[in-house]
A and B are shown apart, each in its own frame.
Chain A
Amino acid sequence: MPVPEHLEFFIDPNRCIGCQACVQACAECDTHRGYSMIQLDYIARSESPQTVPIVCMHCESPTCAEVCPADAVKRTEDGVVQSARKPRCIACNNCVLACPFGVPKMETPMELMMKCDMCYDRTSVGKKPMCASVCPSQALFYGARDQIERQRPRSRPIHRFLFGRQIIVTKVHLMVPFESPVAPMDVIAAFRETVIGHVFGPNFSAETMVGGGK
């Protein structure tokens, strides 16, 4: 059964409070019990407590699968990129290095790449992913688009990102301030920004968003 089309995943790093609930909940999942597929990244640890949960964005053209020499990374018909297929994965780490979002994890003892599959066992039967079901601030939100638009009128979901010359369209959406430009978010440029101290206002650009929020 495919993941229902009207239910989508939205990440809103602004709301992340760094509680690690998603990380723990992820490790509870039956398909990879004890291994969390989420990591909670600090954006600039010396300057801010701001964190952002890293879950798979499920690209339309997944770089991890593009670079896989063993043809092991596959996506199901509903656009969910799955963990590497065990009989094929050769633990070469290409996907880990190539993913622009840093999602795939190499489980070296298992010689297997494992990654966030949006809790396929749950979402494919209409439930929320583990992380979204526990996130207290709903920085990880799984639900209908009109619902999140209603609840977060000051934000806007984007799903186009620019990494160098590569434009990545993702299935999972990132919530950015409503005023930010509609162009794909230039992630590389954001690395060069100073992270803290931007004025949140009409001039706010998507780049500063990834750089550290308000």
Chain B
Amino acid sequence: MSLQIPDDRTPDGKPESEQPQWRRDFPIDWPEDNYISRRDFTRFLVLTSFAFAVGQTWILAMGSMGRGEDRQGRELVASVDDIPEGGAKTFTIKGTKEPFLLVRMSENTFVAYGQKCTHLSCPLIPQPEMGRLYCPCHEGAFDLQTGHPMMGPPRRPLPRVRLEISGNKVYATGVEDHRL
């Protein structure tokens, strides 16, 4: 409900109900204009706090869905000869679009982590000679041994891919995802 515009104050003298909508939305008189702004402000407050509430619930739901989830099954990632010592390879696991990074640390040690930085999802650059995965975006780094953050803004560890080496092949057998 807006305040009533006196009829002699409209240009054609018609009552407020016959005026176009914009005239009611943009009243000329100061008290009504303030009234509308107050109403708009309240609407803005209610709607944005509602949106925030929905957003938070959604984030929570997404988080609890992914938490501690282990993907099972065995999947061929690479053959040992493909990757030189200190080399790396990106791969994906069937059913996801997430990029993963396989690093050969030494002759027989392979590790694999998600390639998305846990800060703001920049792709990580493997630096096995420094024993870390480096994020150029904000100078973040993760420990190559454990996947835990070493420096910079990231706070959460990278999802780690369980590997199995049999013969000449490297297989992924699951992802330990500790989101949130």
Measuring CB to CB, which residues of chain A are less than 8 angstroms from any residue of chain B? Answer: 60-63, 65-66, 71, 73-77, 82, 166, 169
Contact = CB atoms under 8 A, between A and B. Distances in A.
Nearest to B37: A71
Interface string B1-34: 0000000111100000000000000101111010
B33 A74 contact: yes
Contact of B11 (A71, A76, A77, A166): A166
B33 A60 contact: no
Contacts of B29: 74-77
Contact of A66 (B8, B11, B30, B31): B11
The 7 closest A-B pairs by CB, nearest first: A61-B11, A65-B28, A71-B26, A74-B30, A76-B30, A60-B9, A75-B29
B8 A75 contact: no
B104 to A, nearest CB: 62
A83 to B, nearest CB: 12
Nearest to A169: B8
A74 B28 contact: yes
B128 to A, nearest CB: 58
- What class of interface size applies to chain B in its complex with A? 10 to 19
User: Which of A63, A73, A169 has most chain B Cβ within 10 Å?
Assistant: A169
User: Which of A61, A62, A82 has most chain B Cβ within 10 Å?
Assistant: A61
Contacts of A169: 8
Contacts of B8: 60, 169
Contacts of B26: 71
B30 A77 contact: yes
Contacts of A75: 28-30
A10 B29 CA distance: 23
Contacts of A77: 29-31
User: Which of B9, B10, B26, B28 has most chain A Cβ within 10 Å?
Assistant: B28
Contacts of A73: 28
Contacts of A66: 11, 28
A74 to B, nearest CB: 5
19 contacts: A60-B8, A61-B10, A61-B11, A61-B28, A65-B28, A66-B28, A71-B33, A73-B28, A74-B29, A74-B30, A75-B28, A75-B29, A75-B30, A76-B29, A77-B29, A77-B31, A82-B30, A166-B11, A169-B8
Contacts of A76: 29-30
A108 B30 CA distance: 25
B63 to A, nearest CB: 41
A76 to B, nearest CB: 5
A185 B160 CA distance: 86
Contacts of B30: 74-77, 82
B31 A61 contact: no
Given A166-B11, A169-B8, A62 B31 contact: no
B96 to A, nearest CB: 50
A169 B10 CA distance: 10
B41 to A, nearest CB: 15
Nearest to B36: A71
A62 B29 CA distance: 10
A169 to B, nearest CB: 7
Nearest to A61: B11
A166 B29 CA distance: 20
B48 to A, nearest CB: 21
A23 B23 CA distance: 35
Given A61-B11, A66-B28, 7 more contacts: A61-B9, A61-B28, A62-B28, A75-B29, A75-B30, A82-B30, A166-B11
